[in-house]
Structure 1
Amino acid sequence: MSVLTSRILLLTIGALLLSLGTASLHAEQKRKPASEQPVEYENHTLLFFESRHPYFIRLQISIDAAPPSVMRQKLLETLFEQADADHSDQLEVEELKQFRGPERMQSRIQMELESSETALNREQFVKLLEPTLGIPLGLRMESGRVSDLPDLFSKLDHNGDNRLEPEEWSSALHLLEKYDFDDDETLNLIEVMPLLRPLNLSVDQSTRTPAGQRAGLFELIDPRNPREQLAQQLLAQYDGGHDKAEDGQLDANELGWSDADWIARYDNNGDEALNRTELLRLLADPPAQRVWRMRMPLQKRLTVRFWETDDEDEEWLYPRSSSSRDDIKVGGWEIGIRVQNPRPQFSDVLTYYQLQFLKLDGDQNGKLSMEEAGPLTLLAPFAALDKDQDNELTRDELSAYVEREAQLAQCQLFMTVDRKTQSLFRLLDADSDRRLEPRELLDPTAKLKSFDINGDGELTEPEMKTVYELSFELQPPSLFDDTFSGNVGDRIGPILSPPTAGPEWFRQMDRNLDGDLTRREFLGPTDTFQQYDRDGDGLISPTEAETTLSSESGTPEEKSNE
């Protein structure tokens, strides 16, 4: 091989290696996550009442690379432009009267016209109707299985410290007596339900509090609302923790803070603890102990992302490991995070109604009369859908209505709290008859000892293998409102079986069919009851009844008449 040929060959190989290296670099750059455009987001503060410390969690939410409030603004501006027939950039009184938006918006405009018949510009229109879109971020609680619904833990937790102490266990029977509404000396599922009403086993709205919204151990703080009650709740739950005496304030240990600067930020009097007034300052502008970020698509084809970051001000750049799901440890709790993708759901809604239109269009003229449109079961009146008011509904008019309803729904983001736990009710219900008898409540400590992980004689919800799953999703269209879709047929009443053990008189006295006799059920005198109750636990068992009867003649009634 000549020298020239060798040099050409070397140059060719070098060029090839260079091109491969460049291609590899480009491929690596493509794999690196990067923001396609500057991302804007909204901040919300979630307070988690963990067993030992409160946790302030910053939620940073972006939808289509913009804050959710931008969606609301754009929707209202679109409705304004549709109603502005003369393109004057303001809605005259007649245009307001002809407004064909959702019924709740029409009602709000009607109220405005009744008070003052004046035109509205774009800004006034948006400000007037923004409240009709609902709260930007809502909180709600997901109901669990029927047997998990009874809130026994909180009912036994007499002092409200989220821990069950031995004293509370020992008085379990006494604490639960007040829930025995049918006075049969047992507690069934219905009696210990959180709410005494017919069950709706679907999603329940959160509890409204002065400071925001509450669902389980989570509170979504609204900075616009007063926070005195929330400050008092923090003191009641965490003051005196970690073997400290209660002093009406929370120090760094009680708050679970390792950053001394956080205490100094709110500590006006410099005593290294926060009193009630200083806690109010804290709640007005809380620190971010944890920062959770989520990106959701709507119009754009983006991948749903959730990730946790160390600094709320760091660049919005999701890691490659991020996805729509994550499992996070917060204190002693396991919390699952799920961010739902709304795009397929809204697409399904539109497809469903378009297919329904074709099915109902019997004469195949591409229009539905009011009678033909009846089975659509839409929430809006026919006139609201019939844009040109010709008493016929076209496919385009139906699609426009469905898309608008979907847009309105997309203006609300919900965090659903699903509490999954080892049911305390089911653990104590030894015979699985969906009720708790006195014997099952006599010594619950022994049954639950295996759950006391740290062996301190107390039981916390994390030790009960309780986990929370938080789902973030845009509100589904009201067209598919399925409020009562839960399994309301689940049986919740007790399973009663006539006892077969014990003598005849014993079975006749056992009015609640739990297999034991209490003093109230026993028809004889007290001294006779005590003779039968050989172990002194306040109950006569079938064995005690048979043993005592075999050693003495006559039934309790006969003995009482002697």
Structure 2
Amino acid sequence: QEAMNSTNSLPLMLATTEEERTQAAERLLGHIGSEELSSPESLGIPERFFRAFDLDRNGGLNKDEIVRYLEKAPAQLNLHVSLAPPLVNVGRISRTTEMVSLVTEGRRPVVDMAGVPVECVARNRSADLQDQVGLFKTRAMIADGDKNGYLDQGEFAQLQATGTTFQDVDMDGNEQVTREEVDLYFSLDGLAAQSRLVVTLSDEAKVLFNLLDSTTDNRLTQREIRNAGQIIRDFDRDGDAALSPQELASRFRFTFSQPELLEFRPDANMNANSRQGFVREETSGPLWFRRMDRNLDGDLSWREFLGPRSDFEEIDQDGDGLITLQEAEQAESKRDAAP
């Protein structure tokens, strides 16, 4: 599956079905503005492969021939994937192509595919099974309005189990769905679903705001704005003091995992909430520091500081115009140590 609403801008496509291979061929030909590929270099394949799939012997590959090549051609890269533990190993890379090369090794290797870096990640979602069973058992307990220990057909609807009928879960057919039946059914259902492997192609786009927002609280503090120059320099590979689209280019990712069992994932929801401007109040440090830090960014600016300027400058040891938690604690220690 492709984790995108639209794949028209993707330089990579999954082509595992006839329809996907046809779409890939059409996009390739549309990109070069021709009805045929005229050279093996355009596909990054050896000339002997190019000739082998040129079925009409006219010196080019049309859409149907490209589709056949995508179906029959040998793999240029082999990956060995383990979900327990989550691990991706790069296997054989075909010697007949220069279009695929290994960039970095490790548990999440990066492979260059025709100039496009692709990270390969394995994720074990086996814990989803317990989450699914626990969720539906909790819903069953809440849905049991008369507290008689089972669900009738009216109460069963409150489980919100899409695609699952009352008869599916009522295993003994006695018109009563017990919590034990809920546990057993959704355990078996989850095990069956997790017997499949899902490969997801996603575009991990770099967003400048997110790069600068180091605390992921969906806002930029004075310190984060001050650090922006260094972050931009880190991504400015050509040293021209500007960021080009290429320097913020996406990194694509292949994720190998079991399918997600729940449309609603508590952990994902928590991660999403962390990007909604949630600010955690600091609970450490001197009380005066916490009280003055009105915007809760972990620093005191001169505008927030309620004392005289001389005290501010004394506490601000590095002279950057902001009092950090560490500087506040050091000032407090000096005050406590004073006779």
The alignment's TM-score, normalised by the length of structure 1, stands at 0.34
Q: For 1:372 and 1:293, how far apart are their aligned partners in 2?
A: 46
* 1:324-359 Cα shifts (integer Å, max 9, x gaps): 532223333322222111222213322444466567
Aligned to 1:108: none
Aligned to 1:330: 113
The answer (yes or no) to whether the contact 1:292–1:307 under 8 Å persists in 2 is: yes
Return closer, same or farther for 1:270/1:479 CA change in 2, 3 Å cut-off. closer
After superposition, residues 528-539 of structure 1 pair within 5 angstroms as none
Q: For 2:150 and 2:106, how far apart are their aligned partners in 1?
A: 44
Aligned to 2:193: 409
Return closer, same or farther for 1:283/1:460 CA change in 2, 3 Å cut-off. farther
The answer (yes or no) to whether the contact 1:360–1:368 under 8 Å persists in 2 is: no
Aligned to 2:72: 285
After superposition, residues 132-531 of structure 1 pair within 5 angstroms as 138-141=1-4, 204=5, 216-225=10-19, 230-238=24-32, 248-257=36-45, 259-268=46-55, 273-276=60-63, 278-296=65-83, 302-310=84-92, 325-354=108-137, 367-370=149-152, 376-379=159-162, 380-410=164-194, 413-423=197-207, 453=238, 461=246, 463-478=247-262, 480=264
> How far apart are 1:398 and its partner, in Å?
0.8
Return closer, same or farther for 1:479/1:295 CA change in 2, 3 Å cut-off. same
In our comparison, the structure showing a higher alpha carbon Rg is 1
Residue 406 of structure 1: SS of its match in structure 2? helix
After superposition, residues 96-135 of structure 1 pair within 5 angstroms as none
Task: Please tell me the residue identity of whatever aligns with 2:123.
Answer: Q
Return closer, same or farther for 1:264/1:424 CA change in 2, 3 Å cut-off. farther
Return closer, same or farther for 1:272/1:386 CA change in 2, 3 Å cut-off. same
Residue 189 of structure 2: SS of its match in structure 1? helix
Structure 2 unmatched runs, 5+: 95-103, 212-234, 278-339
Task: Figure out how many residues of one structure are paired with residues of the other and give that number.
Answer: 238
Q: With a CA cutoff of 8 Å and minimum separation of 6, indicate the structure with the bigger relative contact order.
A: 1
Return closer, same or farther for 1:338/1:311 CA change in 2, 3 Å cut-off. closer
The answer (yes or no) to whether the contact 1:140–1:215 under 8 Å persists in 2 is: no
Q: For 2:139 and 2:259, how far apart are their aligned partners in 1?
A: 23
The answer (yes or no) to whether the contact 1:140–1:416 under 8 Å persists in 2 is: yes
> How far apart are 1:397 and its partner, in Å?
0.9
RMSD after superposition? 4.7
* 1:407-458 Cα shifts (integer Å, max 9, x gaps): 453365433333233459999xxxxxxxxxxxxxxxxxxxxxx969599xxx
Residue 140 of structure 1: SS of its match in structure 2? coil
Q: For 2:135 and 2:210, how far apart are their aligned partners in 1?
A: 41
Aligned to 2:97: none
The answer (yes or no) to whether the contact 1:306–1:322 under 8 Å persists in 2 is: no
The answer (yes or no) to whether the contact 1:304–1:323 under 8 Å persists in 2 is: no
Residue 124 of structure 2: SS of its match in structure 1? coil
Task: Please tell me the residue identity of whatever aligns with 1:307.
Answer: N
Residue 338 of structure 1: SS of its match in structure 2? strand
Residue 185 of structure 2: SS of its match in structure 1? helix
Residue 250 of structure 1: SS of its match in structure 2? coil
Return closer, same or farther for 1:454/1:269 CA change in 2, 3 Å cut-off. farther
Return closer, same or farther for 1:261/1:420 CA change in 2, 3 Å cut-off. same
Residue 173 of structure 2: SS of its match in structure 1? coil
Q: For 2:108 and 2:255, how far apart are their aligned partners in 1?
A: 9
Residue 472 of structure 1: SS of its match in structure 2? strand
